[in-house]
Amino acid sequence: MKNILISVSAFFILHSAFVFGGPIEIPADAGTRLTALEGATNAILAKLVAQADTNVTTTATLYTPRFKGDTLVGGAGTGTNAVWISKGTTTNDWVAIKP
């Protein structure tokens, strides 16, 4: 029974190789493509991380939003745990959403 299953499995593997165009070929520039993809992924992840203020008093206008919807988190003193979100890309576009 075991030999029959192995034979049937081998048949389907070989059959699918001919039906679906043979073995998968890895392009010569696969490493370059992966490196570019990793760079793009890291750039996206960096934008998802909020800017954090570590000064004694958080002043939102000292930070330039990286994009609309960017977030700023106050980390110490007067701005502890305060959160701002940007409605634009200038220093005056911060809107406090949690005082």
Residues near 82 by Cβ (< 8 Å), separated by ≥ 6?
Answer: 58, 73, 74, 96, 98, 99
16-30, 66-80, 85-99: range with highest mean pLDDT: 85-99
| Contact (Cβ atoms closer than 8 angstroms) between residue 66 and residue 52 | no
Q: What DSSP element (H or E) covers 98? A: strand 94-98
In the prediction, which pLDDT does 85 show?
A: 92
β-partners of residue 86 are 94
Q: Of 61, 97, 65, 64, which Cα lies nearest the Cα of 81?
A: 97
Across the chain, mean pLDDT equals: 77
| Contact (Cβ atoms closer than 8 angstroms) between residue 47 and residue 67 | yes
The pLDDT of 2-27, averaged and rounded, is 64
Q: Does residue 76 carry a pLDDT above 60?
A: yes
